[in-house]
Amino acid sequence: MLNETNLQGLFVPLITPFDTEERLDLESFGRYFSSLLQYDIQGIVLNGTTGESPTVAWEEVGTLYKAARACLRPRRLPIIVGCGTNCTAESVRRSEAAGHWGADAVLAVTPYYSRPSEEGIIEHFRRIASVGIPVVAYEVPSRTGVALSVETMQRILDLDGVIGLKDASGGLALAAGLLPDCPKPILCGEDALLLDMLHLGAAGGMLASANVETASFLKVCAQVSEGNTSHAVETFDRLLPLIRLLFRESNPAPLKWLLARQGLLASGTLRCPMGPVSTAMQAELDAFLT
């Protein structure tokens, strides 16, 4: 299982491949995931935002978990499973199931849509953490509608069983407020802010863009760790156009199109209500490949 010490480095949130009928495409999943395993990434995330978690049934998450473990053999790589919902009881049930599967941690998002009080949110995380599987909290107010204060997030990180945070808060204020005094790791979840967060003391990143140019993202992390600031800036500046392109339209639509164009997926299909990228975006992504 993951802990506060080894939750660091580059974690890649996996996409969920579908065929043209919007069914799971396990053949593409195996090909795509195996291509990532040539890199020394520190872990993966199943059923996160990039994996289209709102439209993936829990039974399908179990299928993907088994497929991922099969691809990994004999290599051991941490798997974090997205288990957070806006229903505490369901999040607990999913976390228990992920623990039974052998997952190394769960990713639990701040409860969305219902806009609970901060005390309710803290209790939500406390109940998930009580399951016994390590919990990575996930703050992404652009999707949840609730932005937590530094003080509230610190109380969540103080909970036993919460081992760290994926910070996709959209800025640097949360990380800057937490990092000076927080003993638990914070991972950047805002791809374009990776370099800034690493300089603040973030332990790594959980980045959708790292599905492509994976080696360069690893290089940025290593260069910052080694104190090679100028080289890290150069490497990251070369990545920024790609990052901005991949988030020009809703993630993971551009990413899926690109992976399909590279031949790693049979189709860039997304599940409705997500739809394909625009023709203009396709042209820009195609230009990136050339």
Residues carrying an active site annotation: 138, 166
Which stretches of the chain are DSSP H helices?
A: 26-36, 58-72, 88-101, 118-129, 141-144, 150-157, 173-178, 194-200, 214-225, 229-246, 253-261, 279-289
Locate tokens 């999913």: which residue? 94
d(CA 187, CA 19): 32
In this structure, what token pair is assigned to residue 271?
């599940």
**Contact (CB, 8 A) for 106 and 85:** no
Is 50 assigned to a binding site?
A: yes
96 burial level (CB within 10 Å; 0-12, 13-18, 19+): middle
d(CA 229, CA 87): 43
**Contact (CB, 8 A) for 72 and 103:** no
Amino acid at 261: R
d(CA 263, CA 33): 13
**Contact (CB, 8 A) for 184 and 165:** yes
Nearest Cα residue to 78 out of 167, 187, 1, 5: 1
| Residues placed in the known binding site for pyruvate | 50
| Residues placed in the known binding site | 50
